[in-house]
Structure 1
Amino acid sequence: MREKGLRKEAFKSLDKFLKSSKDWSFDMKIEFVRFLFHYFENVEDADYGPFPQPLNVDLVKPALEEWCSTEQKDHNPFRWYGKYYHSEKHIFKALEVNPADDLARQILLGWWANRINYSIHHLPEFYIGDPIEDIQLEEKIREQIKQLSSPDLRDYWTKEIDEDSELVKNYFDFKNSGHNDFEKWGKENNKQTGYSLTRSYYYEK
């Protein structure tokens, strides 16, 4: 119904479903949450349509909160709560329960890498944030990369952070140089200064 543009009718059906779930046992709620997130993690963009706000707030979040409050061995609910309710605390708990949970570790890496990317995405015009803090965050990212169980994932994330860390360090060096124009400094020192769809590099002729 939603795909046909019948949003009101779709949410009426969802409301009936949610009312019926009030009578579910805790185990039934866990079973549903497992089904839902397994689907999300195995079908690209699957969480875009089948995770409307009422389902999220009225059923899934309370079920996950109750599950996480008692779970000791299963890392999955902590990863799911961490990802969908943006809680680093829960991601770290998932990794504590299962250090080999590469999905959880990549969520953390994605969040941290995005922070650095946000700082540099307006260069060479201006830097958002503090390059020292970003350098420290980069060190934390590299420690997490080392703990990924897949060599392919380690290579992927290393390349991802290498590109942005180069810009951060270049800007840090520029600030310490006393130069007043980052782009000119880049040309003079053959350093990258821009971050855009096409990265800007300067080379000696």
Structure 2
Amino acid sequence: MTCVLYIEGSPNKAYSASIDVCSAFLDAYRHAHPDHEIRTLDIWDLAMPEFDAAALAAKYAGLSGTALTPEQAAAWQQIERLAAPFHEADKFLFGVPLWNFSIPYKLKHLIDAISQKDVLFTFDASGFAGKLAGKKAAVVYARGLAYQAPGSFTPAAEFDLQRPYMETWLRFVGVTDVAGIVVERTLFGPDGKVDRSRAIDEARTLARTF
């Protein structure tokens, strides 16, 4: 059965623009693909291991081909369990609010923990290869200000470290079919509502053929 993994990146459950747009996407997706499975990974309810000394030692032991100690093996198993939903899914939907021009620290924690050799990527003398090749992703980016508007005092070319980071990471782990939906001006009352409504319509359209 085809599986969609929805990674919910906002802790603001009542008012989040990214959650609203993702919810509209998922409603349309369910209607278009009633036989597909949708799983939710809420990073704010997710117990994530620290990438601590034991995990780091396990990483370097693996790179050097050294046998892991029991402590290192236990730490690495936690990393592999955390990454398992990404291998099990066929498609991804990310809801990503912009925090300090980038992504929420919980999402960064997840990405840092699971982006490991032989977990989400491999490499050899010819270069890197992502282990999530053949999968596809849709990413909803929510922003309080207007980064894309002409004359913006936070122009995307200088201040947007959110979308470039997510798309670079997804390509690195093998996901090259990536669609993005941007909702801006979430702090701007009526203007924000217009942008949110437009993004919801865009999400519904994308979901039908995703």
Using the size of structure 1 for normalisation, the TM-score is 0.28
In terms of fraction of residues, the more helix-rich structure is: 1
By relative contact order (CA 8 Å, sep 6+), the higher-ranking structure is 2
In terms of fraction of residues, the more strand-rich structure is: 2
**Higher alpha-carbon Rg:** 1
